[in-house]
């Protein structure tokens, strides 16, 4: 394996910012920074619970654009999917089903849940990772992709 874009400082800073935003959201709003839950609350809104959700997701988008605009994303000129659009749609639907069944996503369980020492989040995160390992093994070694 060849690491093409080794960026330890931006990765460290990004991780610190993710942790800071998760901690601030928990302290200031009493909410868990799980992206599937935040986005789900926009799709199925509750009264008076929309502003912070739009600001959080807007911050994710603006942060990524700003990172690229100021030149820290050097070497990432374009991102290209290696599968066709129908496969991406199926994958997105499966992720949505998985986050519903798992009552959360990797950010909610893996970052926030583990930080709170939630046994349920530990089981969910181990399940996510094991599934990812098995999927990569099947796709790369058994299917030859």
Predicted confidence (pLDDT) per residue in 65-97, tens digit: 888 788 766 666 666 777 888 988 998 888 888
Residues 119-126 have a mean pLDDT of 91
Query: Domain-by-domain residue ranges, the chain?
Result: 8-142
- Residue % of the chain over a pLDDT of 90: 17
Identify the band that residue 111 occupies on the pLDDT scale cut at 50, 70 and 90.
Answer: confident
| pLDDT confidence of residue 3 | 66
Written as six digits, the tokens of 127 are 């399940």
| Contacts with 107 (C-beta within 8 Å, 6 or more apart), sequence order | 18, 22, 33, 34, 35, 36
Is 90 exceeded by the pLDDT of residue 122?
yes
Measuring CA to CA, how many Å separate 82 from each of 65, 79, 129? Answer: 22, 10, 22
| pLDDT confidence of residue 133 | 93
| Contacts with 145 (C-beta within 8 Å, 6 or more apart), sequence order | 139
Single pTM value for the model = 0.71
Long-range CB contacts for residues 75-80, cutoff 8 Å, separation at least 24: 75/4, 75/5, 76/5
Return mean pLDDT, the chain: 84
């Amino acid at each position: 394996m060849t690491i093409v874009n080794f960026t330890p400082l931006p990765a460290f800073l990004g991780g610190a910012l993710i942790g800071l935003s998760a901690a601030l959201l928990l302290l200031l709003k009493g909410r868990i920074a799980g992206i599937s839950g935040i986005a789900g609350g926009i799709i199925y809104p509750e009264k008076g619970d929309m502003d912070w959700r739009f600001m959080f997701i807007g911050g994710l988008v603006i942060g990524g654009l700003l990172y690229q605009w100021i030149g820290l994303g050097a070497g990432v000129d374009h991102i290209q999917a290696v599968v066709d659009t129908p496969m991406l749609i199926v994958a997105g639907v499966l992720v949505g089903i998985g986050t519903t069944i798992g009552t959360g996503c990797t950010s909610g369980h893996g970052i926030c849940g583990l930080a709170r020492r939630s046994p349920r989040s530990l089981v969910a995160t181990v399940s996510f990772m094991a599934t990812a390992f098995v999927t990569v093994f099947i796709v790369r070694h058994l299917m030859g992709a």
